[in-house]
Structures are given as structure tokens and as C-alpha cells.
Chain A
């Protein structure tokens, strides 16, 4: 959210969208009911829409989300048409994600590429998800199983990975590619902030060897899945997806910065790691490597730090003046403290 605007579709955009959707859906007519902006997503804009489709295979009423890019993104994020292709692949792999229905790659219609997916029910807000008396062990287990399904999508597979050719392979390894990206995104801050300099150096010197490459969500954490009562209804926010080391997603999920104050529940503030790991091993066809997860947790802190820097830069540069983006820049000390504490623990381990 940058400023709390409620602007949805302008009348001419709505008309253009309806006529385009009518063609796409092979329908007699489509009307779009604009239900306003959904919260969440500093990078993307999400509009609640209901499609009333008359005729064609999708004839009926469909609560959906129209997702489009905002004025400026961060370097790691996919375009919306690419994001929809990733969503299509993981949907086909059996993961619990919203089904993408229509992809509008032409920026002329709404000002930026967009896609429309089915709308899941439930809440995503991290601070609400972690609010529970007892640990949510079954939820953590299910999130592990889901991640295992997602990680079955691998580069070069003819069926599951069809349409994902635009995703680049990391070079020379997933870890070293990640650190090189972090260094580039950190820009001038890597030369003036010694915590960043130390974190980057540590990640370069401790990078695990090349291993399996799988489709990683790369923002798989509490806050980016939806829960209705106790049921997982959707894994959302796929804009950072890419080929990487499968342990990266587990490290990101468990990283201290995504526990929403429940530091005692190391798996995303909801349960123990054991619950997540057990679910993962059920479906992934590989074991969890705790040392590699620990490496990727350090990488998670660094990644979040450089994303915070980039978010703040969108404000500082004047591209997108926003209080929320500005304050994100001021989160750097707490992110760096998480990194230092994590490295203290890793280095102290035998």
C-alpha cells in the first residue's frame, strides 16, 4: 500500500477489460464487478473482482483477483505474465494455489501486464496466522508437503516446466548467484555498511556446492499463504519465483525475520521445524539438509536486507513517494541484528 488509495479500474479500462475477456472466455458477454483493492503487496496491486461470464466453458460467476504490477518494482520480481506462467506450472503440479484464468500480457489495456486468478478465502496476515494458543503443527506439516510438490517442478522437464523457459538458471551455483545478486542490489551500501559487507563475505565463503535445482517460490513464508479456519487455501505472491536450491525456501520459511514475534516457533512462527520438514520429506523426494537450511537462513536475512534497501530506494529516488516504503528502509537494523544473531549461532555450532 502506498498512500491508502482505493483506486480500482477506470470506466474505460473496465470496458476494455470486459470486451477482451469476452473474447478470451469465448463468452457472449463478461461483466467485471470491481470490489476494490485488496491489502498487502508493496510490489503488486491486487484488485478484488467478480467476473460474471455469460456463455462459453467458464459460464458463471467467479470471485477473482486481478493482479498487476505497481509503478516500480524491485529487481528480483517477475513480470505479471511470467508470474502467471509460474502459477500455471505449480497449479498443474498439484500445489494449493489460485488457478490463473486469464493473462493480459499487453500493457496497453490496463497500463501494465496483469492476470486474473480465482480468489481464495481466508486470511494471510502474518500477525493473525501466528496468533494461536497451540502450535499449528498440521498447518506447518501441510506447508511442508506443499513445498515438496512445488519443488517437483525442475528445469528442463517437458511437462511440468513447460512455459517456464524464461526463468534463468543460476550461475555458477544457486548460492553464489544469490550472493552476486545481493551484492548488486546492495549497491553502495555494501561499501559503507559493515554488517552487509560481512554478511556477503560470509555467504560467499560458506556457499554450499551445486546441488539439485528446483522451482523455488523464494518468498515462501507466513504472510504469503492463506488460511481459512485451519485449512490452507492458497499459497500466494509468486513474483520472486525462480530456479534455485530447494533448501532456500525452507531457510526463508524458518528465518527469524518471518516469525512475527513467535521466535519460539521456528517454522514461520506457527510450529517446530520438525513439522515442516516431515511434511516436506513426504512429497519432495529428498531429505532436508539442516546445514544447508542454516546457510539459506543467513541468505534469507541478507535477501530481506537488500530488498528493504531497494524498497526504500523506490521512495528515496522519488519514483514512488511512500511512507511504507520509507519505513521499510528503517527496518534494516533489525534485519541485520537477525543476521548477526544467526551467524553467532551457526559459528558457535560444533
Chain B
């Protein structure tokens, strides 16, 4: 399929901006919660479209190091789960190394789903 311009990211971004500027201020109180959820959903979608797969190579390298394998992140993550299940990360030092990588993966997801929490984590790890 051929996509026309502007693309999805641009459309979502301008829809969110218009919603925030023109609609949100005049939404009646009993619909405000729904309106805020709409803004939240559009914001998450925009950040996901903007981020794309940019963070994946670095995370794939880190997961690959843990496993002693190479590959793309969507392939490596299920393998990491299987390795955890089989006890390969039970030793305390392996758990420590694992948690560091899991934290990086989770921070990358927070960048899309909850940037406020992400900046709180960066200011003060553990909140």
C-alpha cells in the first residue's frame, strides 16, 4: 500500500495538538477524564511512531551479551525468557547483570508510555 503525506506520526501529532488547544479547555467536567485519556492515548501513539525501532539495536546488543548470542531484539527476548525460566540467571551475580539490562529495556518502554516517570527515574533512580 502507498501511504500519502503527511504520515501517521504527523497526523497523530497534529490531532493531539488541536485536541489539547481547542477541545480540552471546553470539555465539560463530567467528560474531562475521558478527554484526558484520549490525549494520553494519542500522546503514547505519537511517541511510539516517533521512536520506531531506534532503541532496539543497543538493547539487542545488551541482551545478546547476556545470552552469548546475536540477533534482533524480537528474536532475542523470547530466548532470554526461556533462559530465565531454565535457571541460567539464578546466581546472584547473573541476576544483577540481568536486572541492569531489564531496567534498560523498561526505561526504553517508559520513554513511549510514560515519559514523566522516565524523567523521574533519571533524576532519582527508584523514583
Which residues of chain A have a CB within 8 Å of any CB of chain B?
1, 3-4, 190-198, 201-202, 205, 256, 263, 323-324, 326-327, 330-334, 336-337, 340-341, 343-345, 347
Contact = CB atoms under 8 A, between A and B. Distances in A.
9 contacts: A195-B106, A197-B81, A201-B89, A331-B114, A333-B110, A336-B102, A344-B99, A347-B92, A347-B95
A194 B80 contact: yes
A327 B34 CA distance: 11
Contact of B126 (A195, A196, A323, A344): A344
Chain B interface helix/strand/loop/mixed: helix
Contact of B34 (A4, A196, A336): A4
Contact of A330 (B30, B85, B113): B113
Interface string B81-96: 1101101011010011
A323 B127 contact: no
Contacts of A256: 127
Contacts of B85: 197, 201
A197 B80 contact: yes
Interface in B24-82: 30-31, 33-34, 37-38, 40-41, 44, 63, 77-78, 80-82
Contacts of A333: 106, 109-110, 112-114
Interface residues on B, range: 35 or more
B103 interface: yes
Contacts of A190: 81
Chain A interface helix/strand/loop/mixed: helix
A196 B89 CA distance: 14
Contacts of A192: 77-78, 81
Contacts, number: 97
Q: Which 7 pairs of residues, A with B, have the shortest CB-CB distance?
A: A333-B109, A197-B81, A341-B126, A197-B84, A194-B80, A330-B113, A263-B127
B84 A198 contact: yes
A18 B91 CA distance: 64
Contacts of A345: 126
A200 B83 CA distance: 13
Nearest to B89: A198
Nearest to B76: A194
Nearest to A335: B106
Given A263-B127, A347-B96, A194 B41 contact: no
Contacts of B92: 347
Contacts of B98: 194, 198
Contact of B102 (A198, A327, A330, A334): A198
Nearest to B109: A333
Given A192-B81, A198-B84, A337-B110, A323 B105 contact: no
A333 B109 CA distance: 6
A151 to B, nearest CB: 30
Contact of A191 (B31, B44, B81, B112): B81
A4 to B, nearest CB: 5
B10 interface: no
Nearest to A198: B84
Contact of B37 (A205, A327, A331): A327
Contacts of B41: 323, 326-327
A290 B114 CA distance: 31
A205 B86 CA distance: 12
A104 B85 CA distance: 45
Nearest to B80: A194
A340 B37 contact: no
